[in-house]
């Protein structure tokens, strides 16, 4: 993973500020959700969250949310 040179401190609530240039590079805007996970090498990975269909893992702009789950129209029509 490439080092970017950004160093930030956590505030009292555990928050960090992502630099504007990093947000722009990741196409992250105010109000967007961020997905966080640890990869196999132990690195913390931040990425813009994109909802996927619970059943087929498809990414679509035409998702329906039901009980906290995202379902694409194709899977919904098959039910």
What are the boundaries of each domain within the chain?
A: 7-48, 50-79
DSSP state for residue 46 in the 8-state scheme: E
CA distances 6 to 18, 22, 44, 51, Å, are 9, 9, 14, 28
What value does the mean pLDDT take over residues 64-70?
88
Instruction: Indicate whether 14 pLDDT > 60.
Output: yes
CA distances 55 to 4, 52, 72, Å, are 36, 9, 8
CATH 2.10.260.10 for domain 7-48: yes
pTM, whole model, 2 decimals?
A: 0.59
pLDDT band for position 2 (cuts 50, 70, 90)? low
Q: Name the phi and psi angles at 33, rounded to 5.
A: -90, 145
Instruction: Indicate whether 3 pLDDT > 70.
Output: no
């Amino acid at each position: 993973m490439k080092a970017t040179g950004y160093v930030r401190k956590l505030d009292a609530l555990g928050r960090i500020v992502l630099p504007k240039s990093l947000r722009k590079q990741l196409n992250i805007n105010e109000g967007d959700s961020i997905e966080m996970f640890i990869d196999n090498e132990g690195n913390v990975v931040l990425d813009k969250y994109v909802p996927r269909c619970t059943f087929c893992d498809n990414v679509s702009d035409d998702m329906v949310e039901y009980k906290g789950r995202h379902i694409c129209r194709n899977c919904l029509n098959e039910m």
